[in-house]
Amino acid sequence: MDRADKPLALTLGDPAGIGPDITLLAFTARRALAIPPFVLIGDPGVLAERARMMDLAVRIEPIGDTSAAPSVFTEALPVLLVPVAGEVVAGRPSAAAAASVQQSIEHAVALVRDGAASAVVTSPISKAVLARAGFGFPGHTEFLAALAGLDASDAVMMLVGGDLKVVPVTIHIPLKDVMGALTTARIVKTLLISARDVARYFGVTRPRMAVTGLNPHAGEDGTMGCEEIETIVPAIEAARDQGLDVTGPHPADTLFHAEARKAYDVAVAMYHDQALIPVKTLAFDTGVNLTLGLPFVRASPDHGTAFALAGTGKASPRSLIEALRLADTMQRNAGAAP
């Protein structure tokens, strides 16, 4: 059995959020929706209690190592133990759980790096809760880069929703800081990592990349901003010099309708909302968040902890299910590559 046939390693996320809920719901849909086997890295007690709250009959089976997961998965939800400290109350985040949230991620990464799991899928964490507990990273992406021994700028976020793939060059920073954070070098690096990993994980050998402008109408020849001329165009030219298929800068507002989407494999946007608005407008329930640039596949549902929904049975597992399926497809594509 090679790594491609190992289970996916799924983290629990914040135990007070909807991570346990959507894990249970996805597990119950595994046959109907052909969900690839996964092992949950977390606390079986939290899952059992959440299943009780949601009135779900799910057998939870602690396992010793991941080799048992695929056969267990047909009958029970396999769990590798990472105990959560303190009491877990659905909907009430607690800093006492922060250490286990972090350990779950570390353990999932270690499994994949050791060849015991095929890819990492993460459930939502609360940045605010983790920050209060001293977690030194803005989010998953930066933490995963550090665990892989990389610089944060080596990790590239990609959103996938339906036929749309979008990469934001800058992410979780105030809008006023975007202009300063955008450099030609950073855009080129993002283009190179995106092109390499879209080829590796999606089997598109030389992806067509469409780059947005920063300003309205992509600056309209400098009449509404100069970043296109000074920063973005030079990045596009440098990427082309390295053999990439890149067009732009395109006005962002006309780049995401159905006809426009046919002209590229991946769009590269300059900041958070420019990338996230089209994905979540088109595919709110099914969007997947990927981290490219890592030495392994990482996918995640494209939503937050939704504390208010935890335990209510109202959380939708659709985005997690898409993340599990996409992670499996991606790691198989990577494994099949020459």
Confirm or reject binding of residue 262 to its own copies (CB under 8 A): no
C-beta of 6 vs 250, nearer to its own copies: 250
Structure-block tokens of residue 229: 């001329």
Whether the CB-CB separation of 171 and 181 falls below 8 Å is answered with no
Compute the distance between CA of residue 90 and CA of residue 88 in angstroms, rounded to an integer.
6
Give the CA-trace dihedral at 10, 162, 237, 233, to 10 degrees: -100
Residue 228 CB, shortest distance to its own copies, in Å, is 10
Contact map string, positions 105 to 144, toward its own copies, x by CB under 8 A: ----------------------xx--x-------------
Q: In what order do the strands lie in the sheet with 266-269?
A: 60-62, 77-81, 38-42, 8-11, 120-121, 298-301, 288-292, 156-161, 164-168, 266-269, 208-212, 245-250
- Residue from 53, 110, 179, 238 touching its own copies (CB under 8 A): that is 179
C-beta of 34 vs 173, nearer to its own copies: 173
The one segment of 15-23, 64-72, 254-262, 322-330 that binds its own copies by CB under 8 A:
254-262
The one segment of 55-63, 87-95, 218-226, 288-296 that binds its own copies by CB under 8 A:
218-226
- Residue from 57, 149, 259, 262 touching its own copies (CB under 8 A): that is 259
Among positions 198-217, residues that touch its own copies (CB under 8 A) are: 214-217
Confirm or reject binding of residue 247 to its own copies (CB under 8 A): no
Residue 145 CB, shortest distance to its own copies, in Å, is 19
Q: What beta strand segments (E) does the chain contain?
A: 8-11, 38-42, 60-62, 77-81, 120-121, 156-161, 164-168, 208-212, 245-250, 266-269, 288-292, 298-301
Q: Within 10 A of 211 (CB to CB), how many other CB atoms are there?
A: 29
Compute the distance between CA of residue 318 and CA of residue 288 in angstroms, rounded to an integer.
10
Kind of pairing, strands 266-269 and 164-168? parallel
Whether the CB-CB separation of 301 and 239 falls below 8 Å is answered with no
**Residue 286 backbone class (left: φ over 0; alpha: ψ -120 to 50; beta: rest):** alpha
Give the CA-trace dihedral at 316, 26, 22, 167, to 10 degrees: -70
Compute the distance between CA of residue 278 and CA of residue 166 in angstroms, rounded to an integer.
9
**Residue 225 backbone class (left: φ over 0; alpha: ψ -120 to 50; beta: rest):** left
- Residue from 19, 278, 301, 317 touching its own copies (CB under 8 A): that is 278
- Residue from 258, 262, 336, 338 touching its own copies (CB under 8 A): that is 258
- Residue from 221, 241, 262, 336 touching its own copies (CB under 8 A): that is 221
Confirm or reject binding of residue 220 to its own copies (CB under 8 A): yes
Longest Cα–Cα distance of the chain, Å, equals 63
C-beta of 68 vs 131, nearer to its own copies: 131
Confirm or reject binding of residue 226 to its own copies (CB under 8 A): yes
Confirm or reject binding of residue 176 to its own copies (CB under 8 A): yes
Contact map string, positions 145 to 174, toward its own copies, x by CB under 8 A: --------------------------xxxx
Confirm or reject binding of residue 254 to its own copies (CB under 8 A): yes
> Tokens 């597990």 map to which residue?
27
C-beta of 261 vs 325, nearer to its own copies: 261
Confirm or reject binding of residue 308 to its own copies (CB under 8 A): no
Confirm or reject binding of residue 263 to its own copies (CB under 8 A): no
Confirm or reject binding of residue 273 to its own copies (CB under 8 A): yes
Residue 311 CB, shortest distance to its own copies, in Å, is 21
Compute the distance between CA of residue 263 and CA of residue 273 in angstroms, rounded to an integer.
21
Site residues, its own copies (CB under 8 A): 127-128, 131, 171-176, 178-179, 214-217, 219-221, 223-227, 252-254, 256-260, 271-274, 276-282, 284
